[in-house]
Amino acid sequence: MQSKLTIGMDIGKAQVVVACHESAFAVLKMANAVPVLRRWLATLPAGSRLGLEATGGYHEPVAELAHSLGFTVYILNPKDVHHYARALGARGKTDRLDAQVIAAYVAEHNARLHAFVPLSADEKLLRELARRRATLVNAKSMLQQSLRVLPGFEREGRELLRAMGSFADRLERKLAEIAARSSERAALVKRLQTIDGVGTLTSIRCATLFTRVPLHRSDAAVAFFGLDPRPHDSGQHRGRRRLSKRGPSEDRRLLYNAAMSAIRTPTWRPLYQHLRNRGLASTEAIIIIARRMVRIAFAMYQNHSDFNPRLVPRPSCPA
Q: List Cβ neighbours of 269 (8 Å cut-off, separation of 6 or more).
A: 263
Whether residue 152 is contained in a domain is answered as yes
Side chain identity at residue 85, one-letter code: A
Cα angle 159, 174, 252; round to 5: 85
Whether residue 255 is contained in a domain is answered as yes
Are residues 70 and 46 in contact, defined by beta-carbon separation less than 8 angstroms? yes
Total number of residues shown for the chain: 319
- Secondary structure element (H or E) that encloses residue 277, with its range: helix 269-277
Share the mean pLDDT of the chain: 92
pLDDT value for 208: 94
Domain CATH for 74: 3.30.420.40
Compute CA distances 16 → 31, 81, 98, 125, whole Å: 6, 17, 11, 27
Compute CA distances 296 → 55, 211, 262, whole Å: 33, 15, 13
pLDDT value for 96: 94
Q: Which residue ranges in the chain fall short of pLDDT 70?
A: 1-2, 316-319
Domain final residue pick, 71, 89, 112: 112
Instruction: Specify whether 91 is located in the same domain as 73.
Output: yes
pLDDT value for 190: 96
How far apart are the C-alpha atoms of 111 and 122, rounded to whole Å?
A: 30
Instruction: Specify whether 94 is located in the same domain as 124.
Output: no
pLDDT value for 232: 75
Instruction: Specify whether 187 is located in the same domain as 229.
Output: yes
Rg (CA), the chain: 23
Instruction: Specify whether 144 is located in the same domain as 247.
Output: no
pLDDT value for 206: 96
Domain final residue pick, 158, 181, 204: 181
Q: List Cβ neighbours of 300 (8 Å cut-off, separation of 6 or more).
A: 188, 191, 192, 195, 306, 307
Query: 154, exposed or middle or buried, with CB in 10 Å at 0-12, 13-18, 19+?
Result: exposed
Which residues constitute the domain of residue 136?
120-181
Instruction: Specify whether 270 is located in the same domain as 156.
Output: no
Whether residue 245 is contained in a domain is answered as yes
Q: Strands 6-11 and 49-53, how do they pair?
A: parallel
Phi-psi sector, 179: left (phi>0), alpha (psi -120 to 50), beta: alpha
Whether residue 147 is contained in a domain is answered as yes
Whether residue 1 is contained in a domain is answered as no
Side chain identity at residue 97, one-letter code: L
Instruction: Specify whether 197 is located in the same domain as 304.
Output: yes
pLDDT value for 318: 47
Instruction: Specify whether 217 is located in the same domain as 300.
Output: yes
Instruction: Specify whether 208 is located in the same domain as 312.
Output: yes
Instruction: Specify whether 198 is located in the same domain as 135.
Output: no
What DSSP state is assigned to residue 311? Answer: G
pLDDT value for 69: 96
Q: How many domains does the chain have?
A: 3
Domain final residue pick, 181, 207, 230: 181
- Residues 14-23: contacts with CB within 8 Å, 24+ apart? 15/95, 16/62, 17/95, 17/96, 17/98, 17/99, 18/99, 19/96, 19/99, 19/100, 19/102, 19/103, 20/103, 21/103, 21/104, 21/106, 21/107
pLDDT value for 33: 94
Instruction: Specify whether 206 is located in the same domain as 132.
Output: no
Instruction: Specify whether 314 is located in the same domain as 188.
Output: yes
Compute CA distances 110 → 18, 89, 113, 116, whole Å: 18, 21, 5, 12
Instruction: Specify whether 25 is located in the same domain as 97.
Output: yes
